[in-house]
Structure 1
Amino acid sequence: MTMPRYAALCLLLAVAAPAPARTPDDMERPFDQYSWVTTHNAFTSNGLIPNQSQTIDVQLAEGVRGLMLDLHFSQGRVRLCHKVCTGEDSATLADLLNDSILPFLDKDTEAIVSLHLEDTTTFEQLSDELALVPRLAGRTFDPQAWETPSWPTYRQLRDSGERLLIFSLSETNTGSFRTGTGVAHILPSIEYTVENYWSLGTTFLQHDYDCYSRWAGKGRRLDRSTIEGKPGWRPLFTMNHFHGVPFSPHAGVDNRFERLSSRYMDHCRPAARRKPNFVAIDFHEIGDVAKFAEWLTLSAPDAL
């Protein structure tokens, strides 16, 4: 990144992003024009090798609006585990929704939260788990119910009550799920999002800043501009920015505004031809991630 460009970014940071990104002041833009702090392996704050140092409740309270969750079937339930579940101590998806996500949305009536699932369960297992969350009905975003020419605005989503967007990497575990007196909706990530390959490198000694599609082998380019069946709707862009093995002392380097903005301006923006909606990182409270997401929303040009 050239020094004039970096200096301009730093100036914009100081002026335009004084606080963590929570509910935007301007709610009239389509949802795909906002950017959010997103926590990778959001549930691992108490694990052996944590990706976060805070619980999900604290993350939400501090302005995180995207949560990446790994789902595994263990001990008869769908649980939040990274690769392997260690037993009944692993939290269940229903408990997370009933005890954390839905109460948070009840308390903050203007918040919109997105869940990004890496799901290894079966459709039946997931259906049984979601049936334990009766209050989920009517709370999840259903794009087929919207006939807007682009993504609904933030205000429209807020007013609709569909303030929980759920995306899944498992295409077989998407669609409508019966829960309570209605249904919950899960969207296929490969259709509704674009996403760069997730790793900066296995360890903090490696930094591969190239930005290329996670699904390049399936012909899904990072600059894909349309969602099938939804003309005028762009896929939401997840910018992954973390290592294979988390290391909290290095998060202060990876999560600096200069590192994030340099990768965005020099690599991800030319590849995706737009700004990210979800900035996915480890140890979100270390560094300048909230300020970077706020700068993206307030100041960054939306598309090349």
Structure 2
Amino acid sequence: MRPLRFLCGSAALALALPVLSPAGQAAAAVPVSSVYLQNYATGLNVADSGGTVAAHNPKGNEDHQQWTPVAVDGGYQLRNSDESGTCLSRSGTSAVTASCGAAGTVWTITAGADSTYTVSAPGTSQYLTGSSSDSSAVALGPAGDPARWYLTPVSYATASMPSADTRTLDQVTFLTSHNAFANGVDGNFASFPVNLFPNQNYGISRQLADGVRGFMLDDYTVSGQAVLCHNSCDGVSSPVPLATDLKRMVDFLKANPGQFVTVFLEDYASSDVLKASLASVSGLSDVLYRPDQEGVATKGWPTMADLSARGKQLLIFSDRTRASDTANGWATRDTFGVMYQREWTVENYWSMGGGLGDSDWSCYSRWGTGRPLTVDSAAFHPLFVMNHFRDYTISGTASTDNGKLLNRAQNFCTPAARKKPTYLAVDRYDLGSPTPLSTVGTLNTYILAPGQ
């Protein structure tokens, strides 16, 4: 296990942060504290890679990705925060690093739309331009979205969590169990040897009682019914029907009207099979929340108090795409209340590595640079699903990883997404110090301060 990374642990450190100014006012200030140069189009960060400047997956303080803008004669230098005397520079159309006293280390930084900036060679129309793939060189090129950059603060300023009657769904963080069904308690979930590595230690009812509010489930079709299996249903005797676990959740929500649950389907069933399974769950339609029918994409997420008052307590996502369902000639899933996750959320890559040994803390989109974690708009903020688990579950590893969850959430994934995680997805949520539920509690004491 690698040791816990040490960063400035408080997410509440106030910085001189960029704010997009209204029309007619002065342009946004360039921040004076450490930032990530994060590409608007791809979400990738500028990193010093042995003198070459490359686009890398966001990786906190581990990869020479932090830069400090310093005002100098003629513009700004961008000084690498952990390589003393090293600055972002240029050689022809290539971006490189060089001694901060060298020619080519002064840049013009100009505020633009949507809290972005351009970084250009002074007196030219040559802009620092990002690449669409990790480890590809950053260069100088023409204006356009690849030449737009967030100066994302390394440590975000925060504000207190809004009151219970005003906080919105996207401001809250929920404990989420990865492969919640693979628990060895509710029933069979996989054949040998996968069944030797349950992701959770307790059944769905206990998970609900313990405070889990997000459930990742893998549904397959067996004998015309949606059932829950891990990797495959081959050789799995009597897997748990999806409807059984949904009924457990509906019953819990009916008995606890102030609670909210989200289901994430790794979805291998056809639309017809999934629709029939949902229709068989008594009371599900009463609590099902439909953001597509409430204008969330233009008005933003509702308050938790409003959802509670209306009894809208269950949100269901599928990882399938609208295009794939249409290509198969199936009804789109949102016609019966299942949302396409890629239209409403962003999600980081699902694995930190194998079950033993070192882990990869980089935080980047599961769905590639075409939908980076930074996707956002003024009206609608996609929910951020933060995965924090390995390829397979070993209790000692899960315990260690879960104890580092807060550090990764605050110092790696929040700046990578430019938003606080909405869902923290872990294996063995019962393990770790602090526990994942404690981490969720900490994240629910604040929101990111506006204008960053």
> Counterpart in 1 of 2:335?
176
1:101 aligned onto 2:253: no
- Whether the 8 Å CA contact 2:355–2:397 is kept in 1: the answer is no
Tell me the distance in 2 between the aligned counterparts of 1:147 and 1:262: 35
CA distance in structure 2 between the partners assigned to 1:298 and 1:27 by the alignment: 15
* Percentage of pairs with the same residue: 35
Q: 1:292 to 1:131 in 2, by over 3 A?
A: same
Once the two structures are TM-superposed, the CA of residue 2 in structure 1 deviates from its matched residue by 4.5
Q: What secondary structure is seen at the aligned counterpart in 2 of 1:32?
A: helix
The alpha-carbon deviation at position 300 of structure 1 amounts to: 5.2
d(CA) in 2 for partners of 1:33, 1:300: 6
Q: Quote the offset at 1:205 in angstroms.
A: 1.0
Matched residue, 1:267:
412
SS in 2 for 1:176: helix
Q: Which residue of 1 aligns with 2:312?
A: 162
Task: Extract unaligned runs of 5+ from structure 2.
Answer: 12-161, 190-194, 326-331
Question: When you count strand as a share of all residues, which structure comes out higher?
Answer: 2
Contact kept in structure 2, 1:238 and 1:279, CA below 8 Å? yes
* Cα shift readout 1:85-106 (whole Å, capped 9, x = no counterpart): 24451110112222x1111011
1:138 CA displacement = 3.3
Which of residues 221, 225, 239 is equivalent to 2:372?
221
Among 236, 243, 246, the residue aligned to 2:390: 243
1:41 aligned to 163, 175, 179, which one?
179
Q: Partners of 1:93 and 1:30 in 2: how far apart?
A: 29
* Distance apart, 1:143 and its partner CA: 1.3
In structure 1, how many angstroms separate the alpha carbons of the residues matched to 2:272 and 2:358? Answer: 40
Say whether the 8 Å CA contact 1:275–1:302 is kept in structure 2.
no
Quick one: distance in 2 between partners of 1:289 and 1:25?
23
- 2:231 paired with 1:80: no
Among residues 279, 290, 304, which one is paired with 2:424 in the alignment? 279
CA distance in 1, matches of 2:209, 2:255: 10
What is the deviation of 1:147?
A: 4.2
For residues 130 and 150 of structure 1, what CA distance do their matches in structure 2 show?
27
- Comparing 195-204 with 275-284, greater Cα deviation is found at 195-204
Pair 204,118 (structure 1): closer, same or farther in 2 beyond 3 Å: same
2:265 pairs, out of 114, 117, 122, with: 117
**Quick one: structure 1 residues 27 and 201, their matched pair in 2 at CA, closer, same or farther if it must change by over 3 Å?**
farther
Letter in 2 for 1:102: V
Q: Which residue is 1:17 aligned to?
A: none
Mapped partners of 2:274, 2:166: distance in 1 = 35
TM-score norm. by structure 2 comes to: 0.58
Q: 1:292 to 1:222 in 2, by over 3 A?
A: same
Q: What residue is the counterpart of 1:30 in the other structure?
A: 168
Q: Deviations over 1:263-283 (max 9, x none)?
A: 123321221001100000000
In structure 2, what is the equivalent of residue 200 of structure 1?
352
As a proportion of its length, which structure holds more helix?
Answer: 1
State the TM-score, normalized to the length of structure 1: 0.84
Partner Cα separation in structure 2 for residue 196 and residue 29 of structure 1: 24
Q: CA deviation at 1:161?
A: 1.5
Aligned residue pairs: how many?
Answer: 274
Report if aligned partners of 1:74, 1:87 keep a CA contact under 8 Å in 2.
no
Say if 2:262 and 2:314, in contact at 8 Å, map to a contact too: yes
More displaced, 55-64 or 286-295?
A: 286-295
Give the alignment's Cα RMSD to 1 decimal: 2.1
Quick one: higher RCO (CA 8 Å, sep 6+), 1 or 2?
Answer: 1
8 Å CA contact 1:38–1:64 kept in 2: the answer is yes
Q: Cα 1:294–1:25, aligned 2, differ >3 Å: closer, same or farther? A: farther
TM-aligned CA deviation for residue 157 of structure 1: 0.8
Q: Distance in 1 between matches of 2:174 and 2:381?
A: 16
- Superposition deviation, residue 154 in structure 1: 0.3
Contact 1:139 1:164 survives alignment (8 Å):
yes
- List alignment gaps of at least 5 residues for structure 1: 10-23, 178-184
**Residue identity in the other structure for 1:223:** T
Question: Deviations for 1:70-128, whole angstroms, at most 9, x for unmatched residues?
Answer: 00001331101111124451110112222x11110111111100000000111111122
Once superposed, which parts of structure 1, at least 4 consecutive aligned residues long, lie more than 3 Å away?
A: none
